[in-house]
Amino acid sequence: MKKISLFCLLLFFVFDGFSQPKKSKLYGTWVLESSIFTTEDSIYKEDANYKKEMKIVTPGYFMFIVNKTSDNSFIMSSGGRAIIDGDNYTEIIDYSSRPDALNQTYRFKSKVVGEKWYHTGLIGNWKLEEVWKRVK
């Protein structure tokens, strides 16, 4: 009986280890350093001189908030489910201050180099390239 109990306990710890989400380099708090939106005929560049944006990524979820730099006024916020699969990062908007963002899914190619997070994807027909810096 002792051997069976010990074996069951061992199996529990082995399988419990497999069920835990792997630690992603994306987990944490980030501030936006720069973003570039590219359309068919224009390029828009934004940095911290225009807006302050903070994003928090946790296992399965994300949220972000955007404020105008000049007067710290609120611009928008959104959050929802985050899916991280290798270099693919997906946001599914479950709540937002902008109704047109609700239920949207955004997919990005993503990489973390040191304390910087680079991602590129599409927001509608616009190409978005962002650089984030980890908050310590």
Range of the domain at 70: 23-134
At 94, list the tokens: 């479950």
| Other CB atoms within 10 A of residue 62 CB | 24
Per the domain annotation, does 12 fall within a domain? no
- Is 17 inside any structural domain? no
The pLDDT tens digits for 93-107 are 999 999 999 999 999
Q: The pTM is what?
A: 0.81
Specify if 13 maps to a domain. Answer: no
Q: What is the pLDDT of residues 83-92, one digit of tens each?
A: 999 999 999 9
Q: What is the pLDDT of residues 25-43, one digit of tens each?
A: 999 999 999 999 999 999 9
CB neighbours of residue 53 within 10 Å = 22
CATH number, residue 86: 2.40.128.20
In a domain? residue 15: no
CA 120 – CA 105 distance, rounded (Å): 14
130: nearest Cα among 46, 64, 5: 46
User: Does 46 fall in a domain?
Assistant: yes
How far is the C-alpha of 63 from the C-alpha of 80, rounded, in Å?
6
Residue 50 neighbours by CB distance under 10 Å: 14
Task: Using a pLDDT cut of 90, give the percent of the chain over it.
Answer: 76
Residue 15 has pLDDT above 50, yes or no: no
**Alpha-carbon torsion angle 65, 69, 74, 77, nearest 10:** -20
CA angle 5, 6, 11 (to 5 degrees): 95
Q: Residues 54-80: pLDDT tens digits? A: 999 999 999 999 999 999 999 999 999
CA distance 109 to 130: 11
